[in-house]
Structure 1
Amino acid sequence: HEQLLKEHGLENAILVPVYSKAYQMALATSEILVNNVTFPPYFIRRDEQVYLNTWHGTPWKTLGKKMKNGIQDMSNIQRNFLQS
């Protein structure tokens, strides 16, 4: 990941392990959040944060409605969609 960041002129970016305390602090304090899936269930976007979700995949996404366990598994996905 560090090489990819360097190639794109982002060598000052700080990589943090997912779900670590540093990750949680980044979610809580970042001005701009970009994601292509969902953030953890404990994430709540602050009013002053911008959350861009690119929803990887096709335009025919079902936002979790076709997940293995059905509608029970899609609540966090739809919650993230509403926050983005």
Structure 2
Amino acid sequence: MTASELIEKLKQLPQDARVFHLWDGEPRTEINEIWLSKRGHIVTSDFSQVCYSTAARPVDAPDEKTAPYWRTPQNPNYKMDDEDDYDCGYPWD
């Protein structure tokens, strides 16, 4: 799928709906980050996810030799004492 194909599909959907990635049979990963990778692909991610390979990282991110475990930004609203921190429930339940 190309970026323009994705944009056209998204235009047909409710504009205020949250976006998730289907993983292990359920929409478990919320899409909160998007970037152009060093390989030229568009990559989506949730907050605080580790990216190992240089090719999958954003163009301006350090390579895997400099930072073996590059991480996407943390949720700016995250607090250590969040009650939902260990909740395994799903936001769509």
TM-score (norm 2): 0.25
Question: Greater relative contact order: 1 or 2 (C-alpha under 8 angstroms, separation 6 or more)?
Answer: 1
Structure richer in helix, relative to its length: 1
Structure richer in strand, relative to its length: 2
TM-score (norm 1): 0.26
